[in-house]
Structure 1
Amino acid sequence: MSFDPPAQQPVYLPPAATPPRSSSGGFVFAAVGISLAALVGLIVLGYLALALGASVLVIGTLLALVPLAIVLLAVRWVDRWEPEPRWALWFAFLWGAAVSVAIALLVDLGVQLAAALTTPGGTSDEIAQAVVQAPIVEETAKGVGVLLVYLFSRTHFDGPVDGLVYAATVAAGFAFTENILYFGVSLAEGGAGELGTTFVVRGLFSPFAHVLFTACTGLALGIAAARGGGAMRTVGCFAAGLALAIALHALWNGSLAFADALAMYVTVQVPIFVGAILLTVFLRRQEVRVTRTRLAEYAAAGWFDAGEVAGLSTGAGRRAAIAWAKAQHPPRTAAVRSFIVHATKLAFTRNAIATGRADVRRLADERALLDAIVADRRAIMG
């Protein structure tokens, strides 16, 4: 991969007058959203401490970190080509781990109180809670978090892969807190034996269950973003994705309640999981194609040379560029990484502009990214 300056004088695409300033609404949303979600998280943590006890809470948390790490490593792999901003991912995680859990707990409390008032001495229907209430409430709560990222961070929500990343991050947060509760209750009520069984089932056999459910909502919103979603398209895609998420969640919980759980796991859940992996690989390849196609347009205008486009459009080329920087001048490695990130974001920004999905913020982002690439070149060349 070459980092020599392009031979011809580059021009902006499209020719730019003074571009409008990029909106800072996303950062304001992040600051407020993260602060509120963190506050709710402290309340949820206090509830868990009271319900489980400090020692059980610590054990449950340590065990819940195992499936969380598995899921987050997978999310990082999916998000590696065009990484999402950390603040958006932190909001997504905290929404899932705190706000979604709080909503589910409050609804569950309300249902139990309503059952107690309408049927004194009776108990709530646990199967109905698992197959109907939990899928509807939990998927709606998680889906709203993904929708908020979509609405307030449209610049960073380009397509299905972004929707998948945000949905998986929200789901990872929710599953983390839920696992703490399940592991803690298992230990408190059944001892180490029941805890071990629960950990194997939830932590090792099905760490991606919530991710698969909520991914339906994220992918649907990603499709809306890729097609230039107006209000009606956004609502329709969100509703369709949420309905599928609820259906899959109900199928999963129903298989545990009504059918042979192992048979359902092997014949239904595993094929769905494999299909999700294949879909993710396909979407990742689409991202590569978008990068190659749009950077070639900038190359025609003199911003990149053919070698750079080829290198930036493959994982091997990117790794080779980073290895080159480490071998030639290690301090320049950060500049090479920055060059790769900015070039990739530029390609997706250009794709939004070329497909008619851009607003004034995209034009401002394009100009800012081109300026950042110039600065990256200077840093690389020393």
Structure 2
Amino acid sequence: MIAMIGAAIAPGIAIMSYFYLRDSLEPEPISMVIRSFIFGMLLVIPIMVLQYIMQTEWNWRSGVVAEIIQSAVVEEFFKWMVIFFTAYKHVEFDEPYDGIVYAVAVSLGFATLENLFYLIINGLNIAFWRALLPVSSHALFAVWMGYYLGRAKFSQKKEQEKLFLWLSISLPIGLHALYNAIFLSIQNWLVVIVPFMLVLWWQGLKKVQRAHDYGSKNLSSRPQ
């Protein structure tokens, strides 16, 4: 059981550490990051209950559209809500890259507990693939979410803030939906998912650099 718990939490902790240590401007309080991670974990049960209701009470049991709504829309929406109400309005959210840190923390908290449940049900033999695909994909969707939350937070105009807030929720849902659609509709999904994940990492790291660039500009414009 200890080995299973370790295999479940190690990928999330490793990826979280990477994105946290990339914050070279004004690193976030570790207590805030841990709190966001825990909030993400707490989302798992209510989301699973809602998904169960959608499958049993609403008869959304099969089909690509039903699967995408239950997974991509529900999961990304609730993660976005937690980040918006617990981190976005917090005083510690004081540079654009912070959006990525908090979004990744919430998403990896969710992915870590979800991963533990999957390993308990299916065994350690799937731990490697879970780390490479579902856990890391949750983090990468969060990079897009956090990047645009950071842009929204430090927008000069209300119209810009609204646009970036919309992008911060719609793009992760779209990426998550595409990720799910690959598994659900393509028989030889491995041929497609590998380049898809590589592109996600490439674009995610570009978002990290851009967030740092905006953060540097923001710090240099502050009154001394």
Establish whether TM, by shorter chain, passes 0.5: yes
Change (3 A) 1:221 1:274: same
Offset from partner CA, 1:300-355 (integer Å, 9 cap, x none): xxxxxxxxxxxxxxxxxxxxxxxxxxxxxxxxxxxxxxxxxxxxxxxxxxx2xx5x
Q: Structure 1: how far apart are the matches of 2:86 and 2:194?
A: 34
- Report the TM-score when normalising by structure 1: 0.53
**Cα offset for 1:275?**
1.7
Number of aligned residue pairs: give it: 223
Q: Structure 2: how far apart are the matches of 1:181 and 1:229?
A: 43
108, 112, 116: which one pairs with 1:172?
Answer: 108
* Partner residue in 2 for 1:136: 73
**Cα offset for 1:251?**
0.7
8, 26, 32: which one pairs with 1:88?
Answer: 32
Q: Structure 2: how far apart are the matches of 1:285 and 1:225?
A: 15
**Identity percentage of aligned residues:** 22
Q: CA RMSD in A?
A: 2.5
Change (3 A) 1:226 1:173: same
Q: Is the 8 A contact 2:143 2:208 kept in 1?
A: no
Change (3 A) 1:67 1:146: same
* Partner residue in 2 for 1:77: 21
SS in 1 for 2:104: helix
Q: Is the 8 A contact 2:144 2:204 kept in 1?
A: no
Q: Which has the larger radius of gyration?
A: 1
* Partner residue in 2 for 1:249: 176
What are the residue-to-residue correspondences of 1:1-382 with 2, within 5 Å? 55=1, 58-98=2-42, 100-115=43-58, 124-125=61-62, 127-153=64-90, 155-187=91-123, 195-196=124-125, 198-205=126-133, 207-228=135-156, 230=158, 234-259=161-186, 260-288=188-216, 290-291=218-219, 293=220, 351=222
SS in 2 for 1:125: coil
* Greater relative contact order structure (CA < 8 Å, 6+ sep): 2
Q: Could you tell me which amino acid in structure 2 is paired with residue 96 of structure 1?
A: G
Offset from partner CA, 1:149-179 (integer Å, 9 cap, x none): 34530x3223431111110111110110110
Q: Is the 8 A contact 2:147 2:207 kept in 1?
A: no
Change (3 A) 1:277 1:94: same
**Cα offset for 1:62?**
1.8
Gaps in structure 1 of 5+ consecutive residues: 1-54, 188-194, 295-350, 355-365, 367-382
**Cα offset for 1:138?**
0.3
Change (3 A) 1:236 1:178: same
Q: Structure 2: how far apart are the matches of 1:124 and 1:225?
A: 38
